[in-house]
Amino acid sequence: MQKLAIGIDIGGQSSKCGVVTKDGTILEQSVVTSLIDSVDEYIELLAGTVKELIRKTANQGTVVGIGVGAPNANRIDGTIRYAPNLRWARDAEGNPCVVNFAERLIAATGLHVRITNDANAAARGEHTYGVTRGIDEFIMITLGTGVGSGIITHGRLIYGHDGFAGELGHVCVVQGGRQCNCGLKGCLETYASAMGVARTAREFLQNDDRDSLLRKLDPEKISSKDIYEAAVKGDELAKEVFVFTGRILGHALGDFVKFSSPKAIVLFGGLTKSKEFFHDEMVSAMNDNLMQVWKGKIDILYSSLKESDAAILGASSMVW
């Protein structure tokens, strides 16, 4: 009977789990909430989901291990360290803390566990199964609840000396800008994530008196999905939110090109569904922020895998 792996993609809102064959076929998937305050309860929920997936695929193979992609995950020691967007990864005072995640999941499931940053997992999945097959120099940018990144050069992920290389979502794009959950100010994540887009919309609504479909919503509950739907209906203020986002993201991508000279930049995550409203502005801003040697030469690609599949597939590949 064939060997199977479980890939887990942990996000700020939800966690996706899948049973994967060695050739990249996802046999079963399940989604659970990440919005849990207790790490013990979260591990229990995740372990129960893993066991149910194993039961469902028992006649198709044997699960031999688990690969996990998570924010601020460290592949070297199996921890999740100071992840600002994970509610259950906080101490008694509510501050982000260190969670011995791999150790806890091993104890709860009895399976071997390997863990890496969620964006690194997505980059592995895209490189192995997706649009960057055959491309050994690229940067993966994940645009979801936060902004993550995975950097591949010479066909290998860059981890750095401590396992945390590639935190491009926390590069400062606006000096003295928005407060980020990581403790810094002006991070790309505060502008180009789903949460960042919602913050931009609230600022625009406060500072602009034009009519907008968004004014019918509770400002504190506006989501990037609401803004996208308004833009699709022709709402000019909603469209300008994405134009603003595209400019900031594009300028940042230009900076990223300068240090690794990638063949391509791959965008992945829920916010890419809105690309029709920010793509052109993003590419223009990127090229405006590039030296002549790179202008017009960097491919901007979008993940060819279904949403969350890249991270699930990449995480599962660590098992082999």
pLDDT number for residue 230? 98
CB-based contacts of 157, cutoff 8 Å, min separation 6: 116, 120, 123, 124, 150, 151
The 14-20 sheet, strands edge to edge: 26-33, 14-20, 3-10, 62-70, 113-117
Q: Count Cβ atoms within 10 A of the Cβ of residue 161 and give its class: 0-12 exposed, 13-18 middle, 19 or more buried.
A: exposed
Pairing mode of beta strands 147-153, 79-81: unpaired
Q: What is the mean pLDDT of residues 30-35?
A: 97
Q: What is the mean pLDDT of residues 219-238?
A: 97
Q: Which of 294, 195, 184, 200 is nearest to 247 (CA)?
A: 200
- Strand boundaries in 123-182, DSSP class E: 138-143, 147-153, 156-157
Name the least confident of 40-54, 178-192, 256-270, 296-310.
Answer: 296-310
| Residue 306: pLDDT band with limits 50, 70, 90 | confident
CA 200 to CA 190: how far, in whole Å? 9
Q: Is 90 helix (H, G, I), strand (E, B) or coil?
A: strand
pLDDT number for residue 90? 96
pLDDT digits (tens, 9 = 90+) for 238-255: 999 999 999 999 999 999
Name the least confident of 123-127, 129-133, 156-160, 309-313.
Answer: 309-313
pLDDT number for residue 150? 95
Amino acid residing at 208: D
Question: Which one has a higher pLDDT value, 308 or 24?
Answer: 24
pLDDT number for residue 301? 98
pLDDT number for residue 145? 85
Give the whole-number percent of the chain exceeding pLDDT 70.
99
pLDDT digits (tens, 9 = 90+) for 105-117: 999 999 999 999 9
Name the least confident of 192-206, 214-228, 278-292, 300-314.
Answer: 300-314
pLDDT of residue 256 exceeding 70: yes
pLDDT of residue 233 exceeding 90: yes
CA 151 to CA 258: how far, in whole Å? 13
CA 194 to CA 40: how far, in whole Å? 28
The pTM (predicted TM-score) of the whole model is 0.87
Residue 283 C-alpha from the chain's centroid: 20
| Residue 308: pLDDT band with limits 50, 70, 90 | low
pLDDT digits (tens, 9 = 90+) for 265-282: 999 989 999 999 999 999
Q: What domains are defined for the chain?
A: 3-124+308-317 (3.30.420.40), 134-302 (3.30.420.40)
The 73-74 sheet, strands edge to edge: 73-74, 79-81, 98-99
End-to-end CA distance of the chain, in Å? 16
pLDDT digits (tens, 9 = 90+) for 36-68: 999 999 999 999 999 999 999 999 999 999 999
Q: Which residues pair with 267 in a beta bridge?
A: 141, 302
Residue 175 φ/ψ, nearest 5 degrees: -60, 125
Q: What mean pLDDT value characterizes the chain?
A: 95
pLDDT digits (tens, 9 = 90+) for 280-304: 999 999 999 999 999 999 999 999 8
